[in-house]
Structures are given as C-alpha cells and as structure tokens.
Amino acid sequence: MSDSHSLYKLSLAAVGTFAFLFARYFNAKNVQSKIGNDKTPEIGDIRVKIASRVAAASDLLIKKIARETAQLVSSLPSDRKIVNMSQGVPCLPIFDQAYDEMVKLLNTKLLPYSDVPGSTDVRKVCAQFVNKMYSIGQFSPSFDEENITVTSGAIQAIYCCLAISIDSPNDVVLTTLPAYGLYKQQTNILGGKFCSITTNEDNKFVPTGADLKHNFELHTRYQEHNGRLVKMCDVRSIVLCFPNNPTGAMLNSEQAKDITQSLHDLLVAYPTPGFSVILDEVYLGITSSSYVSLLQYASPLLRNSMFIILSASKGLGTTSL
Ligand SMILES: Cc1ncc(COP(=O)(O)O)c(C=O)c1O
C-alpha cells in the first residue's frame, strides 16, 4: 500500500510542526512578559471574551452563499439538477482502502478516544507523507511523529496555531489579501488584530520579500524598558496560503527564496517576542503543475517557527471525514 493509501486508511486530518514552535514560543512569551508588563494581571482582571466575540463575529459571506445554495439544491425535485459551484468541494472518490478501513472500523461499533495529538500510527504515516511530499531528505533531521498533531480539519489546525500566537489585542496576524475568510474571523474571535498585505494581478497575487518586511515593520513600536527604548514588534503570526484560495496563486522557486529570506531576516531582527509562520497548504496535491513550498527553502531558524497545515479534505477527497 502506498503512503497516501495508508494515510487514508488511518483517516488523518491536519499536520503541524507543533513541537518546535511550542518550545520557542513559550520562551518568547516569558521574555515578553518580563520586558513589557509592569503589572502582572490578577486572575480577576482576566476577562475571557470568547463568547461575546463569537456572537459579534459576522457570518462569512461564503458560508451564507453555501448554505442558501444547499437549501436550493435540496428543495428541487429529483429530476432537476443544479451544479453547485458555491464552494470548492472536491468530488474525488475516496480510495477503496480508505472505504474498507472505515467500514471495518464502524462494524466494530466501537469508536474510542485516541491519544490527544492523534494516534501514533497516524502521526507516523503523516510524517512519512510530509517527508516524501516535500522531499525533506535534504533537511536534517526530517519530520517524525513528534512534529505532527492531528486535528479536526485544517480549520481547527489554523485556530490552534492562531490561539497559541495571539495573547493580547495588540497581537497582529498578518496575511495577504484576498484571503480565505476564516483567518480574519478566527483572529477576531481570539481577540487579536487582523492586518493585511494587499496583492493584485500585477504581482500575480504573490507578495515579495520586501512587501512582507514593509508590512511587518508597520507594526513595530518602541517600548520603554529600564529607561531605554526597546523595539517591539506586534506581529505574532504571518499566514501564507499557497496554492491560494481564492486567487489560485502559486509560488515559483525564486519567489519562495525571496520570501523565506525576508522571513528569516525578520526573525533575526526581531527575536523578541518572535512570531510564527503558518503555511496553509491544504491545496497541496490538486495542482496540475509542480509544487513549490516555502518549507523547502526555509532556514533552520525559520523552519522552527513554522506550522504546516495540510488537510484530507481536498486532494484526498474526504471532506466530511
Ligand atoms: C485555504 C483553506 N484553508 C483551510 C480550509 C479548511 O480545510 P478543512 O476542510 O480541512 O477544514 C479551506 C477550505 O475550504 C481552505 O480553502
């Protein structure tokens, strides 16, 4: 059975380089609180506003359109058909092996909990898949199951990555526009600040390294520490999506080198409190031409700050798994 078949068999969802980032990030947060906060918040000061933020978050337009189209489709008589183009729902059939394994599992009538980060077997296969798909042989060390977390779809993976990156209303999530609408909605729910880098047809919807640096530094401020002004950067996370939804933009190797060099330089220039780079690559595997990922050009420093988000929804066709 090929790697991707066993991947199916074990019903995965999404992967990320959690272990690396966790260590680095918590360290960074500690340093930040030592430098930045004169007053440590008391428990009573902390107001969790998730419920009101969720209530205030407007429904995504794409979700409204998808819901209304689904209602329309289901209300039609069976002899009439509508081609539903409101959402990019893949119509690939799932592999026979995946089907067989799911049926086998359901026939046991037992669906117990797995380990919190996902079952070890699944995470091992995910790591093999990432190493093979991204030709990780050139890196040392390559990925193993410790670098993998299985989530309930990429949506949850993105939420988790943003949740450990956003800590205060000053914390900025930077991404290119047009963008998948959920980044903004999740940032709002988590109480961070959503900021964007506009792209257009002239730059084929791909930012340059200089665009990233410029927009990153727009969110830099100075803070007094022991009578000195310390440069603080408010960007906590940069979300980059290639192949992109909705623009379809893809990277070539020159662009990937330029962007990764710029991100590396920013990490060196702003080590405190640091930032994460979230690569949303859920469309990996459904492109007709060869595929370039920022991961392949990332320095070890940058790689340690990266999350890679993959999904079984698109190229593997198991949208509702
Ligand atoms: C760019 C992007 N990221 C993430 C997702 C969500 O993927 P999943 O179905 O695995 O939650 C989508 C779904 O359309 C998407 O377009």
- In the prediction, which pLDDT does 142 show? 86
Q: What is the DSSP string of 260-280?
A: HHHHHHHHHH--SS--EEEEE
Q: How far apart are CA 116 and CA 97, in angstroms?
A: 25
Taking the CA atoms of residue 215, residue 218, residue 219 and residue 223 in that order, the dihedral angle to the nearest 10 degrees is: 150
Atom of ligand 1 nearest to the CA of 88: 14
CA end-to-end distance (rounded Å), the chain: 21
- In the prediction, which pLDDT does 242 show? 95
250 Cβ closer than 6 Å to some ligand 1 atom: no
Flag whether the pTM goes above 0.85. no
154 Cβ closer than 6 Å to some ligand 1 atom: yes
For 76-122, write each residue's pLDDT tens digit: 888 888 777 766 667 778 878 888 988 998 999 998 888 999 999 99
157 Cβ closer than 6 Å to some ligand 1 atom: no
- Amino acid identity, position 199: T
- Give distance in angstroms: CA of 262 to centre of ligand 1: 26
- In the prediction, which pLDDT does 284 show? 85
- Give distance in angstroms: CA of 153 to centre of ligand 1: 8
**Burial tier of 280 (Cβ tally within 10 Å: 0-12, 13-18, 19+):** buried
Q: What is the DSSP string of 6-36?
A: HHHHTT------HHHHHHHHHHHHHHHHHHH
Strand ranges across the sheet with 235-241:
193-198, 172-177, 235-241, 276-280, 306-309
For 20-51, write each residue's pLDDT tens digit: 333 233 333 333 333 344 455 454 444 556 66
184 Cβ neighbours under 8 A, 6+ residues apart:
194
- In the prediction, which pLDDT does 32 show? 37
- In the prediction, which pLDDT does 33 show? 37
Handedness of CA 176, 182, 188, 190 (dihedral sign): negative
User: pLDDT of the chain along its 321 residues, tens only?
Assistant: 333 333 333 333 333 333 333 323 333 333 333 334 445 545 444 455 666 777 777 677 777 888 888 888 888 888 888 777 766 667 778 878 888 988 998 999 998 888 999 999 999 999 998 898 888 766 667 889 999 999 999 999 999 999 999 999 999 999 999 999 899 999 999 999 999 999 999 999 999 999 999 999 999 888 888 888 877 789 999 999 999 998 999 999 999 999 999 999 999 998 888 899 999 999 987 777 778 999 999 999 999 999 999 998 887 777 777
- 225 DSSP β-pair partners: 228
Tokens matching residue 78:
């069976």
- In the prediction, which pLDDT does 208 show? 97
- Give distance in angstroms: CA of 282 to centre of ligand 1: 6
Tokens matching residue 185:
């909605």
User: Cα 239 to the chain's mean position, in Å?
Assistant: 7
Q: How far apart are CA 113 and CA 96, in angstroms?
A: 25
- Give distance in angstroms: CA of 311 to centre of ligand 1: 7
Atom of ligand 1 nearest to the CA of 13: 10
Q: Comparing C-alpha atoms, which of 165, 163, 239, 258 is closest to residue 195?
A: 239
Q: How far apart are CA 142 and CA 66, in angstroms?
A: 40
Q: Report the SS3 class of residue 63.
A: helix
Pocket probe for ligand 1: among 156, 239, 311, the residue whose CB has the most ligand atoms within 8 Å is: 311
280 Cβ closer than 6 Å to some ligand 1 atom: yes
Q: How far apart are CA 312 and CA 318, in angstroms?
A: 6
- In the prediction, which pLDDT does 138 show? 63
Per-residue CA distances from 283 to 161, 219, 250, 314 (Å): 18, 30, 10, 6
176 Cβ closer than 6 Å to some ligand 1 atom: no
Residue entry with tokens 């999904």: 311
